Amino acid sequence: MKTIRTKGYNIYFDNTSKLQEFIGKKNPSSLVILVDENTEKYCLHHLIPLLNMEFHIIKIKSGETSKSISTSEYIWKKLIEFHSDRNTLLINLGGGVIGDIGGFCASTFMRGIDFIQIPTTLLGQVDASIGGKTGIDFLEYKNIIGSFHKPKAVFIFTDFLKTLPPEELKSGYAEMLKHGLIADTDEWKALSHGLLMSPIEMKKHIFKSVSIKKRIVEKDPHDIGIRKILNFGHTFGHAIESKWMSSKKPLLHGQAVAIGMVCESYLSYRSGQLSESDLFDIRHSILDIYGHQPKYVKPVPELLQIMQHDKKNENGEFHVVLLEDIGSAKKSTPIKTNALEDAFHFYQAKL
């Protein structure tokens, strides 16, 4: 596949020689690899032969609960123990959690060291590794602490997807569906039938999804305008994910965003933007892929309280990204509380 060139870094696909060339030219003073127990077991041994220099490993626990201040402190401590300096290169080998917290720690350690992303999950490859957003959760609020710090490069190896369980693939697939809904009608139509496709087709759609996100991010790198449409489904999704984060059965990010996209599609219809037929096309397609799980949108008052801390809110008003049509979205719009409640009830209903 081709290389996607962005302002500040390149995104390479299935290209081991470019990774070797990048590290050789970079010639870092030291190399540190951030992993979790899954990427250490299934992915690290593929990376090691490509490095041609000594390296240190920092291992954290997988899962959203690791995106915390305490885990950040652990990573900073290990960087100090390894005598890391301003010319150290951090390699984030993992999914969205590894990419988010690894990027955040790189942005803050010694006021900023270089890092590269090697995303190993579908969510990481099509969304989390692209755009320079880094962050951690705090007081159970998603990504409320963070920074903008671009990687020096992103290396996507699609073979890593073979190591994933089906639910992780479906989690990442939600972000691909989102990209179609906000920016590409044909892509939504191609993806809305479900995840069953050949590896070659999947690679094509991964490349397309990354291209959509790259195009939007370059128009608005610091998330003050059009880039906000990438948060479609996330106002509701982040609240749902946060509510169930510490439960025995937490929701994966994409599962929560899938619910959020149904809720925010309803608000798009209610605002007069989205047609009723498109609303039910979206609802039926997402429920066919992810199932109907109304228990996760209860209790509504608790979810609304969490949503009060969403980063898009302004002047005490809830703001939600709405679709103008399938394939087109507009940046966040003020929404009344009663409309949010109705959106939760729309998802809950058996239609």
Q: How far apart, in Å, are the Cα atoms of 194 and each of 176, 182, 188?
A: 11, 18, 10
Rounded to 5 degrees, φ, ψ at 270 are -65, -30
All structural domains of the chain with their residue ranges? 4-163, 169-348
* Same fold: 4-163 with 169-348: no
Q: What is the pLDDT of residue 241?
A: 95
Global pTM? 0.94
Measured CA to CA, the distance from residue 350 to residue 105 in angstroms comes to: 44
DSSP classification of residue 349: S
Burial class of 301 by CB neighbour count within 10 A (0 to 12, 13 to 18, 19+): exposed
Structure-block tokens of residue 55: 């390296």
Measured CA to CA, the distance from residue 101 to residue 144 in angstroms comes to: 12
CATH of domain 169-348: 1.20.1090.10
103 and 115 in contact (C-beta within 8 Å)?
A: yes
Measured CA to CA, the distance from residue 312 to residue 322 in angstroms comes to: 13
Measured CA to CA, the distance from residue 98 to residue 191 in angstroms comes to: 26
134 and 149 in contact (C-beta within 8 Å)?
A: yes
Sequential pLDDT tens for the chain (351 residues): 689 999 899 999 999 999 999 999 999 999 999 999 999 999 999 999 999 899 999 999 999 999 999 999 999 999 999 999 999 999 999 999 999 999 999 999 999 999 999 999 999 999 999 999 999 999 978 899 999 999 999 999 999 999 999 999 999 999 999 999 999 999 999 999 998 888 899 999 999 999 999 999 999 999 989 999 999 999 999 999 999 988 888 899 999 999 999 999 999 999 999 999 999 999 999 999 999 999 999 999 999 999 998 888 888 899 999 999 999 998 888 999 999 999 999 999 987
Q: What is the pLDDT of residue 205?
A: 96
Residue 200: how many other CB atoms lie within 10 Å: 8
Q: What is the pLDDT of residue 1?
A: 65
Q: Give rounded-to-5 percent helix, strand, coil for the chain.
A: 55, 20, 25
Mapped onto helix, strand or coil, the DSSP state of residue 49 is helix
Residue 56: how many other CB atoms lie within 10 Å: 17
Residue 112: how many other CB atoms lie within 10 Å: 12
Give domain 4-163's CATH number out of 3.90.230.10, 3.40.50.1970, 3.40.50.2300, 3.40.50.720: 3.40.50.1970
Strand partners, 60: 36
Output the CA angle 6-134-282, nearest 5 degrees. Answer: 75
State the DSSP string of 165-224: -HHHHHHHHHHHHHHHHHH-HHHHHHHTT-S---HHHHHHHHHHHHHHHHHHHHH-TTSS
Measured CA to CA, the distance from residue 36 to residue 34 in angstroms comes to: 7
CA nearest to 192, candidates 211, 205, 210: 205
Strand partners, 134: 147
State the DSSP string of 58-93: EEE--SGGGSSHHHHHHHHHHHHHTT--TTEEEEEE
